[in-house]
Structure 1
Amino acid sequence: MKITRILTHPGGAHKDEFLACCVLAAIHGCEIQRCEPEQADLDDESTAVVDVGGEHDPERSNFDHHQFPRDHEPICALSLVLMDLGIYEDARNFCDWLETAERFDVTGPISTAKWLGMEREALARLVSPIDITLLRRFAKTSSLGAGEPLYEVMRWVGEDILEFVQSLKKRLEFVAANAVIWEVGELKVLFMPRTDPMPEEASAGLGRYLESIGMDKEVAGMVYPDRRGSGYGLSRFNDDPRLDFNRIETEEDVHFAHARGFVAKTSASAEGRLRELLALAEVG
């Protein structure tokens, strides 16, 4: 069904309906209206009714969660839209922020802070002025359409969410088909070889891949193609202290080593030499 209008509630704006509208705007490019729905809106399959209306009926393009019982698993309007698109599970796996956003919207800041294991005040300190401004400006509108600055920002946000979720799944499949685990001394290191064609971000998805195969607690470092040259980047994984790349900064084929020792760049491309550099960087 082609959506020709997105409708969400007026008044204060929250992250869940804002992001849900972003995703829908990215797909359909239609007007967003902020008003209370009438029955005709709920019955109109071409109108996506988001976070209001008391119905979750994706066949009629209705995406509200407020009618769910108190003990229902926390899901928000964005969750329902992602479910309808068939990418919710991937989004939950790849977007670390999503479950927090769901809980914040459904259970509030105090409960969410407790779930995160932090004080309520600490959670407040993580709020970005970007969030504040976008939600405040969205709350002040009654309608938004293509070409308006806020609408185009929302469309960018939606496009990036969709692209991240959809491309990361493909990226993980690519990594699984090409990456190998090296054993260097006492360490395990993930090696991503140079391929043709090369992904735009050669190191993207490597950490997620290690999590997916249950090796994120075992691997100490990663080696991956340097997108700025023909060599490789070497980095700690999860800031593992067993690797210090300051130890190789004087090697002729190492052209960069960060002062804090967590990453280095080398022109070397031969497997033997890369293993040698890792051995030299190992903290005994």
Structure 2
Amino acid sequence: MNYNEITKIVTHPGHAHRDDFLSVCFVLALCSQEKNIPIVERRDATSSDLNDPSVIVIDVGEKYQPELNNFDHHQFDRNSDPVCALTLVLQKMTIYEEANRGFRWLNVTEKFDSKGPFYVANEIGIEWNKISDATFSPIEEVILHMFSKLKKNTKTMSKLMITIGNELLNTLEQFTGRWQQLSDSITTSLVYGNEVVFSLGILGDNDPSFALNAYVAENYPNAVATITHDDRGEGYCLFRLNDSPKIDFSKIEKDERILFAHKNGFVAKTHDKLESTDILELLEKSSK
């Protein structure tokens, strides 16, 4: 996309959804970096829109033509892979793979929008009519309702959407950088045959848990715990993964090296930095 040449963004009227809203946010954010704020209109797309690459058509028009900046998915076969307008926009921006890794909500957004609540409810094992209880966000609902009422973006809405888009882009950039840091610094140990991930290359004042769970899930799916710097104190944080029955940190709450251990056993924190032998000893005492 030539973001300095985009004149208009067209998306569907009526009730707004996460995929069309965020797609517009991403486009507006990247256009704003080129000092360009295109008009946003919520209406059906015309043939003129669909044939003009300076007009980005999102989630409407029944055309997927990235070379013309048309990004609708509704014409895809019902048995096609879960894809929404946001998928197509991120692919055009060449950041889809990073986004799919960094935004853990993207996968379910694709499924919810393209396959519906029954599909998602079945995947996560709840009744379909309770799906809104599990996914409801009052903040998201209010913002989407505000966007739904507009036929054309106001300055206030465009400013909000640019801010959201930039925040997500910045988060994704940070996530990608952190992924590389983790890949360069992580080590592992076995405690009674159970894999424990040590991520001590990220200091406590630099959000040491950021991107860690996603990295561990992809690279060490059988790990039972992570060890990081504590983001609140001077010691280490011992965290149980996936509620593993093989680790219970409540067992070490009386140990003099422990500042805090949760009664449910999923996390413990040490007073100070410890030698690796001390950490391994605490892990052994916590193992079942």
TM-score normalised according to structure 2 size: 0.85
Equivalent residue number for residue 208 of structure 1:
214
Preserved CA contact (<8 Å) 1:207 1:216:
no
How many residue pairs end up in the alignment?
278
Mark the runs of 5 or more structure 2 residues left unpaired by the alignment: none
> Superposition pairs for residues 28-39 of structure 1, below 5 Å?
28-29=31-32, 30=37, 31-39=39-47
Distance 1:133-1:119 versus aligned 2 partners, 3 A rule: same
Preserved CA contact (<8 Å) 2:57 2:70:
yes
Using the aligned pairs only, state the percent identity. Answer: 35
Deviations 1:207-253 (A, max 9, x none): 2222222x322x21111112333321111111223222222223333
- The CA distance in 2 between the partners of 1:276 and 1:268, in whole Å, is 14
Distance 1:194-1:76 versus aligned 2 partners, 3 A rule: closer
Equivalent residue number for residue 54 of structure 1:
62
Preserved CA contact (<8 Å) 1:230 1:269:
no
Distance 1:185-1:106 versus aligned 2 partners, 3 A rule: closer
Q: CA deviation at 1:79?
A: 0.7
Deviations 1:164-204 (A, max 9, x none): 43332332222121111112234321111245x77822122
Equivalent residue number for residue 169 of structure 1:
176
Deviations 1:131-164 (A, max 9, x none): 3222222110112244x1x434433432343334
- The CA distance in 2 between the partners of 1:272 and 1:202, in whole Å, is 22
Moved more, 249-258 or 48-57: 249-258
Is the partner of 2:105 in helix, strand or coil? helix
Residue identity matched to 2:247 = L
- Find 1:236's aligned residue among 236, 240, 264: 240
Equivalent residue number for residue 281 of structure 1:
286
Is the partner of 1:125 in helix, strand or coil? helix
- The CA distance in 1 between the partners of 2:15 and 2:151, in whole Å, is 12
- The CA distance in 2 between the partners of 1:54 and 1:185, in whole Å, is 56
Distance 1:69-1:242 versus aligned 2 partners, 3 A rule: closer
Moved more, 110-119 or 177-186: 110-119
Distance 1:259-1:70 versus aligned 2 partners, 3 A rule: closer
Equivalent residue number for residue 260 of structure 2:
256
Is residue 2:122 matched to residue 1:114?
A: yes
Is residue 2:269 matched to residue 1:265?
A: yes
Preserved CA contact (<8 Å) 2:185 2:201:
no
Equivalent residue number for residue 147 of structure 2:
138
Distance 1:93-1:194 versus aligned 2 partners, 3 A rule: closer
- Find 2:24's aligned residue among 21, 24, 34: 21
Distance 1:57-1:223 versus aligned 2 partners, 3 A rule: same
Equivalent residue number for residue 93 of structure 1:
101
- The CA distance in 2 between the partners of 1:67 and 1:97, in whole Å, is 24
- The CA distance in 1 between the partners of 2:9 and 2:163, in whole Å, is 16
TM-score normalised according to structure 1 size: 0.87
Is the partner of 2:259 in helix, strand or coil? strand
Deviations 1:2-47 (A, max 9, x none): 2343221222212221121122122223232212233332333222
Residue identity matched to 2:104 = D
Preserved CA contact (<8 Å) 2:197 2:226:
yes
Distance 1:145-1:24 versus aligned 2 partners, 3 A rule: farther
CA RMSD of aligned residues (A): 2.4
Residue identity matched to 1:87 = I
Moved more, 230-239 or 86-95: 86-95
Residue identity matched to 2:11 = T
- The CA distance in 1 between the partners of 2:248 and 2:53, in whole Å, is 58
